[in-house]
Structure formats: structure tokens, C-alpha cells
Amino acid sequence: MTIHPPASPAGSPAGEAPRLERQLSNRHIQLIAIGGAIGTGLFMGSGKTISAAGPSVIFVYMIIGFMLFFVMRAMGELLLSNLNYKSFSDFAADLLGPWAGFFTGWTYWFCWVITGIADVIAIAGYSRELWPGLPLWIPGLATVAILLLLNLTTVKAFGETEFWFALIKIIAIAALIIVGMFMIFSGFHSDAGQASFTNLWSHGGFFPNEFMGFVAGFQIAVFAFVGIELVGTTAAEAKNPEKNLPKAINSIPVRVLLFYVGALIILMSVTPWTQFAAGHSPFIAMFSLAGLGAAATVVNLVVLTSAMSSANSGIYSTSRMVYGLAQEGDAPSVFSALSRRKVPQNALFLSCVLLLSGVVLMYAGQDIGKAFDMVTTVSAVCFVFVWSIILASYIAFRRRRPHLHTASKFKMPGGIPMVWVVFAFFAFVLWTLTTQPDTLTALLVTPVWFVLLGAAWLVLRRRPAHLARYAAFQHELQAEETAARDHASQRLEEKESVK
């Protein structure tokens, strides 16, 4: 089983095994992409980000969104170069080697399990605000059960659910912007002062906590963008991917400007940034400030929906990633089975069982906020690894298959130089995590995962099937290098003959 020959379905034995079906339409793909870009980090984590960075948080979100747009464009070019790729772990294995598919697939799975745990923690926390005294394990178990039932039906049902989840988030942010604009232009007064755009710079300027405050904003804000690559895991189940994937990826800058930057500008204009605190949702605070008590409760429900949406995406993506890994022999074969509805149900059960550890984690510590910060930092570091693998795969793609890049209708802007700019940015993000004790602890814990993966790979790579895959990879690599040399010498000869 190999994904190297573009002519055959990736990872399927002679096309006989049941495969994932292309049931996700354009509206599903668009809203899944938006849902991925608007995560729990915006609703729950933005209070901490604003309190750390002040108004400079606007630039934090713009910079992160700008950099990740190029990661998504690189991913889009690679996925569309071979429609047999099911996700980015496939092209990582094909372009960098079997080890890259193994590390990328399992790390992405781990990322979303950790993110799902963070979402279960967030759901439990907000459920307790709505229903004081509610035991934390009740919303935790209910969330996992609901999401399992939703994902066991068909992929179209997942797409439909995520469509409405994302639509609710969009409406909530649009409502916040509209209400906030009305408060600003009507001269709304509160205990914190008058709502005005001048609040953005009249409380210490745009960089009130200087450079290190600006740096602190990156630590939390990066997690708000996890899931932005989710559209890449829908590649095998998207209708007309040549049209729908580029549309979803190209709309990322507009989403970032509207949903992140627009919302944050309104929030900090209505209420000075000095009034925000970690662990409290600025969205709920603003509607409460406007005297819309019922609206604040509704926003609380929207935050719950956002966390449900993120967990739903996590269960979907982890199940598809484990399914792909099992097809390649990188996970137990039991996870490669599809149900009658073409859903990888065994992989779904695995993800849901692990999400239940979020309930245990809440009872292990008293502070939900600290538990959320710890798991989100670990998740963010692992996502940076996955994004880096996507970029490394792009570099290999440009070197090994220049003819496919030339023929591509969806080229990454900036090319190789831009890849190195984004790599430098990722190095900066990792450095920012060393500047605070809580994020540094999570950063130091994360390598344990890669050590465990490395040990598993050392055992797995000795199996006959993996040795055969590696031999096939080496053979293809040599063939492509020979073809590239022949092409270069032919062009040189043509130039000489012209002279």
C-alpha cells in the first residue's frame, strides 16, 4: 500500500477497499473553513490576550493570520497537485518520506485530541455559569455523547452540523460588531467611561505593555487559529475540490480581518482594554454592559456552541487522520474499517474515549482556566509542528516536481522565500512561549510526545510493509532526481544550440 503513484487511490489496495465519499458541498467546505478559523480561543481566550497585549493585540492577530495564509496556500497547491491525497499527512509521506506521514498524522491527531479536551473543559466551565452548581462531569459526558452520535451518521451530517455551528458563530460576531458600533456612535457611557474609538490609544497607546506585552499576546492568540488547516482534512470528502478548496483558502484574510480584528477593535473601543481580564469572555461582558442581559445569556450559549463546533471538528479530523494512518499501516488495521455509511466508526470511538480525559483533568485541578491554558499551549506547539511539515513538504514539492508547480493553477504566492519567512515567524512564536512560566512548562512537556512517537517509529519502520514503502519512496526519489538532471541537461543543450 503506497500513496506514491498518483495513478492509484492513496492507500487503497487496488481500489477494492471501501473509500470515503465526496459528500461535502461548497457551502459545507466554506463554513467548515470559517468554523476552523473562529475557534474557542477567540471567545474564551481573547480576554487574556487583550489584558496581556492591550490594543496591540490587533496587530498580533493580523500577523498570525497573514503568516498562516501562506501555510494554507502551500497546503492548497499540494493537495490539488494530486487529488488522491486524503490530507496533508499523505503528501508529507509522499514528499518527505514515510516518517513524515507517521509523525504528521499522529501529531495532528494528538493536536485535536488535546484541543478537544480543552473544548470539553470550556464547555463544562460555561455550563456551570449558565447552571450554577451543575457537576462538571455532566456537560463533559453529554458533549462527547452528542458529538459521537452526530459523527456516526454520514459525513454530510457532519458537514451540515458544522455549517450551522459556524453560522451561529458568524451571527454572534456580526451582532457584537453591530451593537458595538451603535454604542460607539451613540456615545454610550458606562462606569469605564464613554464608548469611543479613542479608547484604542488613550490608555497607554497601542503598545501599553511595551514589546514584551506585545510578545505575550502571541502565546494565547496562536491557539485561536488552530483548526485553520481543517479544510485540508476534508480533501477526500469534498465535492469539486479544484473549485471549492481554493475558494475556502482565499477567503482566510477576509475572515481574519472581520471576525478577529473587527471584533477586537469594537470590544476595546466600547470598553478600555484595562477592563479585560483572563478567564472572562469579553463578548459576554460587552452585551451585559449594553444592558442586554438576555443577550449575554445567548452569547454564553454561543460560546458553548463554539466549543462544541471545535470539538466536533476535532472528532471529525482525528477519526479521518487515524483512518488514513491505519490504511498506510501506521495505526492498527482495526481503525481502517468503514461503516455502511462510509464513516470510520472505530477511529471515532477512539477519539471520543480520549476526550473523556478532559473530565478527569477538570477534577485533577481546581482551576479550569489553568487547565485550559496548559492544554492549549501544548496543542499550539504541536500545531506549529504540523504547519511546519506542510511548508517543508512544499519545499520538497518544488524541488522534486517542478513540472507540477509550473502546471498548478493555485500557486502559493511568494514561493520558497516566503516559506522561510514563515519558518522564522514560527521560531519567534516558540520563543514567546519561553517568556512566561505557565507556557514554558507546557513547552517543556511537549517534547515527551515526540520522544514517544520516535520510539514507536523505530519499532514500526522495521516491519516488512514499511521497509517496502521506504524502498518505493527511495526508488521514486532517485527516478525524479534523474529526470530532473536529464531535463536540466536537455535545457542546457538547447541553450548551447541556440548560441
SS3 assignment, position 192:
coil
- 388 vs 244 pLDDT, higher one: 388
DSSP state, residue 24: B
What cell numbers appear for 447 in the block? 517534547
Q: What is the pLDDT of residue 215?
A: 86
SS3 assignment, position 364:
helix
Q: What is the pLDDT of residue 499?
A: 59
What cell numbers appear for 18 in the block? 471501501
DSSP state, residue 333: G
The owner of cell 493555485 is 410
Distance CA(134)–CA(335), nearest Å, equals 36
498 pLDDT higher than 70: no
- What is the arithmetic mean of pLDDT over 233-259? 73
Distance CA(69)–CA(75), nearest Å, equals 10
Q: What is the pLDDT of residue 8?
A: 35
Average pLDDT taken over every residue of the chain: 78
State which amino acid sits at residue 65. Answer: G
Distance CA(339)–CA(96), nearest Å, equals 32
In angstroms, what CA-CA distances link 472 with 81, 96, 105, 117?
A: 20, 13, 20, 38
Q: What is the pLDDT of residue 2?
A: 38
Distance CA(340)–CA(126), nearest Å, equals 37
171 pLDDT higher than 80: yes
- 147 vs 103 pLDDT, higher one: 103
Q: What is the pLDDT of residue 313?
A: 76
100 pLDDT higher than 80: yes
SS (H, E, C) 229-272: CHHHHHHHHECCHHHHHHHHHHCHHHHHHHHHHHHHHHHHHHCC
The owner of cell 499550539 is 380
What are the pLDDT digits (tens) for 384-393?
999 999 999 9
Q: What is the pLDDT of residue 1?
A: 35
State which amino acid sits at residue 80. Answer: L
- 390 vs 244 pLDDT, higher one: 390
Fold of 26-446: Amino acid/polyamine transporter I (1.20.1740)
Check: CB of residue 252 under 8 Å from CB of residue 92. no
- The region of weakest confidence among 43-52, 228-237, 416-425 is 228-237
Q: What is the pLDDT of residue 426?
A: 95
Which residues, other chains included, contact 176 with Cβ-Cβ below 8 Å and sequence gap of 6+? 263, 266, 267, 283, 286, 287, 299
What are the pLDDT digits (tens) for 318-377?
887 888 788 877 888 888 777 777 778 888 888 888 887 767 766 655 555 666 667 777
- What is the arithmetic mean of pLDDT over 99-119? 84
What are the pLDDT digits (tens) for 409-465?
889 999 899 999 999 999 999 998 888 777 788 888 888 899 999 998 988 888 887
What are the pLDDT digits (tens) for 60-77?
888 988 899 899 899 989
What are the pLDDT digits (tens) for 138-170?
887 888 888 888 778 766 777 777 778 778 878
The strand pairing partners of 193, in sequence order, are: 190
CA nearest neighbour of 462 among 146, 185, 154, 98: 98
Helices (H) and strands (E) in the chain, counts: 21, 2
What are the pLDDT digits (tens) for 339-354?
777 778 888 888 888 8
Residue ranges per structural domain of the chain: 26-446, 462-499
Which pLDDT band, with edges at 50, 70 and 90, does 16 fall under?
very low
What are the pLDDT digits (tens) for 276-319?
776 667 777 777 776 666 666 777 777 788 778 777 777 877 88
Check: CB of residue 257 under 8 Å from CB of residue 470. no
Q: What is the pLDDT of residue 15?
A: 43
Distance CA(80)–CA(173), nearest Å, equals 32
For residues 295, 297, 298 and 299, what is the CA-based torsion angle, rounded to 10 degrees?
90
Which pLDDT band, with edges at 50, 70 and 90, does 12 fall under?
very low
Q: What is the pLDDT of residue 390?
A: 94
Which pLDDT band, with edges at 50, 70 and 90, does 32 fall under?
low
Q: What is the pLDDT of residue 23?
A: 56
pTM confidence score: 0.82
135 pLDDT higher than 70: yes
